[in-house]
Amino acid sequence: MKSLALRLLPALLALAATALAQPVVDAPAAGLVQRAIAAGRNDPEDARRLAEDALGLLAARPDADLEVRALLVLCDYWSERKLEVARELLGRASALLSLARRGGLRAGVYSCEGDLFESAGDNAKAMDAYGRAVSSAEAAGDDEMLANALYQRGWLRGLQGDYALGLIDLRRSVTLYEKAMMAEHARTAVNGVATIYNRMGDYAQAQHFYAQALKAQLAAGTQREAVVTLYNLGRTRENLNDWDGARGDYLNALEISRRIDYARGAAYALRGLAGVHNARGEWGEALERLAEAKKLTADLPDARLQAQLALLRGVALRGLKRPAESLTSLNAALAAFRAAEALAEQAATHAALADTLADLGDWRAAFEQQRLLKAATDRLHARQLDQRFTTLKVEFDTAAREKENALLMREKAATEDALAQQKRVGALQVIAIALAAVLVAVLGLLAWRQRQTSHRMRALALTDELTGLPNRRAVLARLDELLQSEHACAVLIVDLDHFKVINDRHGHLVGDDVLRAVAGVLTETVRDPMYVGRMGGEEFLLLLPDATVEAARQVAERVRAAIVGLDASRWPSDCALTASIGVTIARPRLDRVSDALRRADQALYSAKAAGRNRVHENALTVAA
């Protein structure tokens, strides 16, 4: 479970942390706002009352910054209860932005907008809003608001199965929070990383992070956050088949939620308990828990929670030999998960539907659900095997463990220092020798790690992050090597036609997806010893060692046709792709890199001028 409060609280607390640095018109109102933000991590009702009191004071002595912050606290509160009230508050906050002194507040408004979309089950619009929050925070130079927006976008990317991109956002968020000495916020972002680990199947590591966070939250008295962590810890224990442990976590989350009157937290805890009952074949008890949760969520705007309840209800009804009712509930859950692009939940629903349809004797439909289950599972596994994710995960694990080890080493050093004062001079010499040996070992280890890191950084420096192809630096270095050899080399510049129009009309998310698809086509079309890389933007470079002009033209035509033949059904209807290609032959030991690129570029411009979607050779090269 990831509550809307948890997603907004990092931004709100970040604002509180810098309150002293901002000019304040009304000191009592500023104090109320700061108390409201802090209360949001523990008692939602207290946070609401304090924010409303602050707005009452600000009505007499207006201050746009304080009003926006108070409205964001209330937006957080009502986003879990009534979306129409939250939208009205968001509109008021947006109207005040032109008067606000802190530019980063716009990012906070976009983040709240994304939360409302996500709560309503429209993850596509939520992702767009989070992207605008990131861009706005970066433009304002507001690291605290940027950290929050990155956390929200990273969480949603992880939910949709984009584990690598989600982990990149979350790692940036952790770094920014730690830089700002905001330990609680950093812990929240680390919990987001733990959730991605849980979805990737690294349950032990996820459990480790959750357990650490829970201990700190309980010690700090942040009960609302503890509810969220307890629920996530319970889900992890379910994956480890630790049903007793999961039940204990859910019961603790339920008890705290009821104590602080947190209906949404209680509903999620009941959902978890119903899952444990289903796993144990206690179908009736599961339905009782789900009925309790349904009462609590009747007015809550949480489409994903409603879908999860429907999935568990369908499983329990099948267990009670009521397959027709089970089918209705499971189909409702599947529709919601598809709308939210939640791939893991879709896979679980397909599995349950296959079993229910088999009980009804509809073998054809059951087989189709099994096919859809396999397709969803294959997609999840493919993402889990993504090498970029694996590399980032290992680096994150290493950094986290190094911090733990550094703390242990500091504690050990302090203990040794206290003991050393009681020992004789001879013992101190022995210790000094031992420490010197340890230092040598550590230095050796650090040197080895430095070499390993250098190798990894060099690989990253030569790879285009978006497409996974060699980047401009790498491909130009390869061309320079070929020009130093004894053989001619064909140089092809591939440029997508009207690509700027796609970005302008449909946004960079669609544009980035188009570039990745084209990169895939080039990878499939080009074979050794050919070499392909991305020059930048929508321009790619192909190198064909020992190729004639005619052979290069044939390759260029194959590439052009493959791009035209790309399946554009996943993009808007006006995103059909074509490409123009310029071809030249680079002469070894005569041409420089700039010479070859200039001629290929001239051929490309010739192709563009002739109407695009065609291949042109450099006229001088053909004559030669």
The answer to whether residue 49 is domain-embedded is yes
Q: Is 36 found in the same domain as 170?
A: yes
The pLDDT of residue 392: 58
Look at 236-245, 335-344, 365-374, 552-561 and tell me which has the smallest mean pLDDT.
Answer: 335-344
The pLDDT of residue 478: 92
Q: Is 482 found in the same domain as 369?
A: no
Tell me if residue 490 falls in helix, strand or coil. Answer: strand
Task: Tell the residue number behind the tokens 């940027």, with chain if given.
Answer: 146
The answer to whether residue 397 is domain-embedded is no
Structure tokens at 296: 């609590």
User: Is the pTM of the predicted complex or chain greater than 0.85?
Assistant: no
Q: Give the model's confidence band at 497: pLDDT under 50 very low, under 70 low, under 90 confident, else very high.
A: very high
Q: Give the model's confidence band at 472: pLDDT under 50 very low, under 70 low, under 90 confident, else very high.
A: very high
Over range 473-490, report the average pLDDT.
89
Q: Is residue 394 scored above 60 in pLDDT?
A: no
Q: Is residue 544 scored above 90 in pLDDT?
A: yes
SS3 sequence of 514-542: HHHHHHHHHHHHCCCCCEEEEEECCEEEE
Mean pLDDT highest for which of 80-94, 107-121, 429-443, 599-613?
599-613
Helix count (H) and strand count (E) of the chain?
27, 5
pLDDT greater at residue 222 or residue 478 = 478
pLDDT tens digits, one per residue of 426-464: 666 777 787 877 777 777 777 677 776 556 666 667 888
Q: Which residues contact 421 (CB under 8 A, 6 or more apart)?
A: none
Over range 259-264, report the average pLDDT.
84
Do strands 489-496 and 579-586 pair parallel, antiparallel, or not at all (unpaired)?
A: antiparallel
The answer to whether residue 161 is domain-embedded is yes
Tell me if residue 76 falls in helix, strand or coil. Answer: helix
The pLDDT of residue 24: 40
Mean pLDDT highest for which of 14-18, 409-413, 455-459?
409-413
SS3 content of the chain, % helix, strand, coil (to 5): 75, 5, 20
Cα–Cα distances (Å) from 131 to 7, 149, 154, 433, in that order, read 15, 8, 10, 55
Do strands 531-536 and 489-496 pair parallel, antiparallel, or not at all (unpaired)?
A: unpaired
CATH number at residue 65: 1.25.40.10
Across all residues in the chain, what is the average pLDDT? 82
Catalytic positions: 538
Burial level of 195, CB count in 10 A (0-12/13-18/19+)? buried
What's the DSSP call for residue 81? Answer: T
Tell me if residue 171 falls in helix, strand or coil. Answer: helix
Q: Is residue 265 scored above 90 in pLDDT?
A: no
Q: Can you tell me the distance from the alpha carbon of 268 to that of 246, in angstroms, rounded to the nearest whole number?
A: 13
CATH number at residue 502: 3.30.70.270
Structure tokens at 192: 């987001």
Q: Is 544 found in the same domain as 410?
A: no
Q: Which residues contact 343 (CB under 8 A, 6 or more apart)?
A: 160, 161, 376, 379, 380
Q: Which residues contact 452 (CB under 8 A, 6 or more apart)?
A: none
Q: Is 489 found in the same domain as 584?
A: yes
Q: Is 282 found in the same domain as 271?
A: yes
Mean pLDDT highest for which of 173-182, 457-466, 558-567?
558-567
Q: Is 210 found in the same domain as 155?
A: no
SS3 sequence of 456-481: HHHHHHCECCCCCCECHHHHHHHHHH
Q: Give the other-Cβ count within 10 Å of 396's Cβ.
A: 19
Total number of domains in the chain: 5
The answer to whether residue 480 is domain-embedded is yes
**Of the candidates 301, 325, 346, which is a domain's last residue?**
301
The pLDDT of residue 492: 96
Over range 506-531, report the average pLDDT.
89
Residue pair 287/313 in contact (Cβ under 8 Å)? The answer is yes
The pLDDT of residue 525: 86
Q: Is 222 found in the same domain as 364?
A: no
Question: Dihedral of CA 201/122/112/39: which sign?
Answer: negative
Q: Give the model's confidence band at 391: pLDDT under 50 very low, under 70 low, under 90 confident, else very high.
A: very low
**Of the candidates 335, 358, 385, which is a domain's last residue?**
385
Residue pair 393/197 in contact (Cβ under 8 Å)? The answer is yes
- Say whether the peptide bond before residue 572 is cis (omega within 30 degrees of 0): no
Residue pair 100/68 in contact (Cβ under 8 Å)? The answer is yes
Q: Give the model's confidence band at 607: pLDDT under 50 very low, under 70 low, under 90 confident, else very high.
A: very high
Q: Is 439 found in the same domain as 348?
A: no
Q: Is 190 found in the same domain as 208?
A: no
Domain extent for 420: 402-461
Over range 4-22, report the average pLDDT.
46
Look at 163-177, 272-286, 401-415 and tell me which has the smallest mean pLDDT.
Answer: 401-415
Q: Can you tell me the distance from the alpha carbon of 156 to that of 2, in angstroms, rounded to the nearest whole number?
A: 10
Look at 123-132, 261-270, 457-466, 501-510 and tell me which has the smallest mean pLDDT.
Answer: 457-466
The answer to whether residue 375 is domain-embedded is yes
Over range 154-175, report the average pLDDT.
83
Q: Can you tell me the distance from the alpha carbon of 586 to that of 268, in angstroms, rounded to the nearest whole number?
A: 65
Q: Which residues contact 35 (CB under 8 A, 6 or more apart)?
A: 50
pLDDT greater at residue 464 or residue 120 = 464
**Of the candidates 350, 385, 420, which is a domain's last residue?**
385
Q: Is residue 43 scored above 70 in pLDDT?
A: yes
The answer to whether residue 169 is domain-embedded is yes
Q: Is residue 557 scored above 90 in pLDDT?
A: yes
Q: Is 208 found in the same domain as 194?
A: no
Q: Is 211 found in the same domain as 193?
A: no
pLDDT greater at residue 404 or residue 51 = 51
The answer to whether residue 393 is domain-embedded is no
Tell me if residue 494 falls in helix, strand or coil. Answer: strand
Over range 508-514, report the average pLDDT.
89
Amino acid at 380: L
Q: Give the other-Cβ count within 10 Å of 235's Cβ.
A: 22
Q: Is 293 found in the same domain as 230?
A: yes
Q: Is residue 383 scored above 70 in pLDDT?
A: no
